Amino acid sequence: MNIALLGFGTVGRGFYELLTERPLSLNICAVLARRPLEGLNCMVTSDFYKILNEADADIIVEAMGGLEPAHEYICAALRAKKHVVTANKQLMCAYYDELTALTRENGVSLRCTAAAGGGIPWLSSLARAASVDAIISVSGIMNGTSNYILDAMSRRSMDYAAALSDAQRLGYAEADPTADVCGLDTRRKLVLSTNIAYGVSISESDVPCFGIANITAEDMRFFEGNGLACRLIGHAERHFGTISAAVEPMLFGADAGEARVYECGNMMSLCAAHMGRQSFLGAGAGAYPTGSNVLADCRAIAEGCSAFYTDSFTRAQVDNSRAYQRYYIRKQGCAPVITAPLSVEQAHVMCRVEGFNGFMAAIAE
Amino acid sequence: MNIALLGFGTVGRGFYELLTERPLSLNICAVLARRPLEGLNCMVTSDFYKILNEADADIIVEAMGGLEPAHEYICAALRAKKHVVTANKQLMCAYYDELTALTRENGVSLRCTAAAGGGIPWLSSLARAASVDAIISVSGIMNGTSNYILDAMSRRSMDYAAALSDAQRLGYAEADPTADVCGLDTRRKLVLSTNIAYGVSISESDVPCFGIANITAEDMRFFEGNGLACRLIGHAERHFGTISAAVEPMLFGADAGEARVYECGNMMSLCAAHMGRQSFLGAGAGAYPTGSNVLADCRAIAEGCSAFYTDSFTRAQVDNSRAYQRYYIRKQGCAPVITAPLSVEQAHVMCRVEGFNGFMAAIAE
């Protein structure tokens, strides 16, 4: 099969190197790049429509990132009956309904396994489980940057600012770390996971999202003193047809698998009616893990994998009003409080009305 | 697609219930059972060839267990160009070359994801990784019974006999627990994993295999005193083209994921050149997890998944002579010794020549 690669940044270049390194019956016929590239044995152009019309590609791999023009190009590719593989979670969340509808209408395949979990075959395994079993919940550590910071604060006793700056120095955090530390990146991966788990379509903006930037060294000492580990968690659950979903810091006992996920690791879990709980651990980011997962999606398409991960796309509202958890709440200058069970909205309102500038975390059951 | 189900024991009945519970575009057209079954809306017979010739099945699901007549029936099904799904690890190991050759010759699909890891999508994820990346190692806790016993000995301070009898009382161990506690079950899962990871075919009998039956309460106290957890591990590695493989008890530090796998849990890991280390946790046995994974294989075939997990089947010798690990060795009546790095054969010979009736375990790096 012929592949056209859009974008030659970190993920695009990683993908190109992996594909040309091994004999895979997959061939790169064109690369879309802003600048000329030396030494590539295929069409290299900055004109996407030249690729679409002339390159005879079977699969379009989108590795540009961002919304436009990636969105325009993917839509055009699907309409031209090309299979599409992408790792672009922002795009997949923003245009989920449109992209999955175009995929169905044109009888092609759309895969985005690397969009949630980097190198981990999470979305493909989740879809496999959802195709035969009722998924009760999905949850996990879905952002390596925030996990690196929390781990450094815990095991190396750094404060938040020092841990963030360490992550930036090592290239694990962007200069603007907002999307990672405020939970937006986790929320996109959670939305994709929820949509595929339940055959629904939920909106990013409906999912409450809390980050880790307010955690202090004192919070960390309290957690450790109580045998608890703090992780940034995206979680969703379906209960009697109602879907609850949130992104928030969560506290785990020492025996929980999440407490043992260190540095940039990711750990996604599903709980299904018959299969029980399954967890998937690995590298959640990086050019080669992500590029490998993109390549595995291309291989799956070449081997006959068709369509999207699910064939159900019902619009669904997120409703957290009956999903209760206890919360750790520390207001500035006060001793921490462990609350009675609250919904995420109740916990948030309770903090906000009192001028909250401390930190709160759900407590895992 | 039409499915004929061979066998209506624990896994077969679980599979039947799961399939008839949900609308899946999969239909059971025949069941092979020794005795008449009430209330089944399909052909029920004790004559396999009646099913093969008259039932119009697309997929044969083998849930009989054992070698014969399951082997005879699967070969006949493949020759008749039926897809085959099985959870029978004993059969898959004993007849790997013959079954994969028949699959290729007849252009059908053969899937056995539930044969290693029960409900965990391990073999399917391993094959996905191996299709695009170089697998360095596979390893894991592949037997729930032995893990239950080790966990009970550690966290509940039971001795081996009491833990085994507890596992038998709860239905986690057979009346004859040999295959589980001596590592034979783990070895079969390891052989299948190794074959798929490296595109090879190795023999069960070439893989050294040590069990857990000699562990004493004193060993456990020594491990705990040194912050170590003991798990029965199957592991294989490829290094400069040489494949090493063994099944043996292994000691892990408290931070290792394996140390946190409790009760009947399974945890399989792969390490790949570009993807890094990935781990998969879940229920390694049970009618519903296993039945769900068998059903997911059927779904994958219905969605176009073809052939076997790999298209390479080179015969390979196992060579452990250059795979070194330190060992914990306790001879009866003596204080435990931690050895210098030894190959599994060296460690074994060292024990055997001195009339070994103590216990030894590799120490994970």
pLDDT band at A362 (very low <50, low <70, confident <90, very high): very high
Minimal C-alpha gap between A296 and chain B (Å): 6
Query: Measured between beta carbons, which residues in chain A are less than 8 angstroms from residue B22?
Result: 132
A140 interfacial to chain B (CB closer than 8 Å): no
The pLDDT assigned to B90 comes to 97
pLDDT band at A285 (very low <50, low <70, confident <90, very high): confident
The answer to whether B75 and B62 are in contact (CB under 8 A) is: no
Q: Is the pLDDT of residue A187 over 90?
A: yes
Smallest CA-to-CA distance from B353 within B338, B331, B336, B335 is with B331
Q: Is A189 a catalytic site residue?
A: yes
Residues A88, A90: Cα–Cα separation, whole Å: 6
A22 interfacial to chain B (CB closer than 8 Å): yes
The pLDDT assigned to B356 comes to 67
pLDDT band at A269 (very low <50, low <70, confident <90, very high): very high
Query: Measured between beta carbons, which residues in chain B are less than 8 angstroms from residue A289?
Result: 274-276
Q: What is the mean pLDDT of each run of 10 residues along chain B (365 residues)?
A: 95 93 88 91 96 97 97 98 97 98 97 96 97 96 97 96 95 92 97 98 96 92 94 96 96 93 96 97 91 95 90 96 92 85 88 72 89
The pLDDT assigned to A158 comes to 96
Residues 6+ apart with CB under 8 A from A154: A220, A223, A224, A229, A230
B239 interfacial to chain A (CB closer than 8 Å): no
B274 interfacial to chain A (CB closer than 8 Å): yes
A290 interfacial to chain B (CB closer than 8 Å): no
Residues B132, A305: C-beta atoms closer than 8 Å: no
The answer to whether B289 and B119 are in contact (CB under 8 A) is: yes
pLDDT band at A333 (very low <50, low <70, confident <90, very high): confident
Of B124, B281, B299, the CB nearest to A257: B281
Higher pLDDT, B137 or A11: B137
Higher pLDDT, A172 or A235: A235
Q: Report pLDDT digits (tens) over A28-86.
A: 999 999 998 988 989 999 999 999 999 999 999 999 999 999 999 999 999 999 999 99
Residues 6+ apart with CB under 8 A from B247: B183, B186, B187, B190, B207, B208, B209, B210, B232, B233, B234, B235
Residues B278, A303: C-beta atoms closer than 8 Å: no
Residues 6+ apart with CB under 8 A from A117: A123, A142, A189, A266, A268, A280, A282, A284, A293
Average pLDDT, chain A: 94
The amino acid occupying position B150 is L
The pLDDT assigned to A217 comes to 92
The pLDDT assigned to B63 comes to 96
Q: Is the pLDDT of residue A120 over 80?
A: yes
The pLDDT assigned to B355 comes to 59
The pLDDT assigned to A353 comes to 60
pLDDT band at A282 (very low <50, low <70, confident <90, very high): very high
Q: Which of A266, A292, A305 to mutate to test the interface with B (most CBs of B within 10 A)?
A: A292
Higher pLDDT, B355 or A120: A120
The pLDDT assigned to B318 comes to 97
Of B278, B283, B300, the CB nearest to A119: B278
Query: Measured between beta carbons, which residues in chain B are less than 8 angstroms from residue A22?
Result: 132
Residues 6+ apart with CB under 8 A from B120: A278, B266, B268, B280, B281, B282, B283, B284, B289, B293
The pLDDT assigned to A357 comes to 72
pLDDT band at A355 (very low <50, low <70, confident <90, very high): low
Q: Which of B3, B13, B122, B133 to mutate to test the interface with A (most CBs of A within 10 A)?
A: B133
Minimal C-alpha gap between A289 and chain B (Å): 4
The pLDDT assigned to B21 comes to 87
Alpha-carbon torsion angle A189, A191, A195, A198, nearest 10: 100
What pTM was estimated for this model as a whole?
A: 0.95
The pLDDT assigned to B333 comes to 74
Higher pLDDT, B53 or A352: B53
Of A18, A121, A255, the CB nearest to B260: A255
Output DSSP code: residue B1.
Answer: -
Q: Report pLDDT digits (tens) over A74-100.
A: 999 999 999 999 999 999 999 999 999
Residues B204, B90: Cα–Cα separation, whole Å: 10
How many pairs of residues across A and B have Cβ atoms under 8 Å apart? 139
Partner A, chain B 296-355, Cβ-Cβ below 8 Å: 296, 299-300, 303-306
Q: Stretch A150-154: mean pLDDT, rounded? A: 97
Structural domains of chain B ordered from first start: 2-111 (3.40.50.720), 122-284+316-363 (3.30.360.10)
Of B255, B291, B306, the CB nearest to A303: B306
3-class SS of residue A279:
strand
A277 interfacial to chain B (CB closer than 8 Å): yes
Residues B24, A132: C-beta atoms closer than 8 Å: yes
**What are the b/e assignments for A206-241, b being 16+ CB within 10 Å?**
ebbbbbbbbbeeebbebbeeeebbbbbbbbbbbeee
The pLDDT assigned to A77 comes to 98
Residues B292, A128: C-beta atoms closer than 8 Å: no
Of A128, A276, A295, the CB nearest to B289: A276
Q: Which of B50, B82, B89, B189 is catalytic?
A: B189
Q: Is the pLDDT of residue A166 over 70?
A: yes
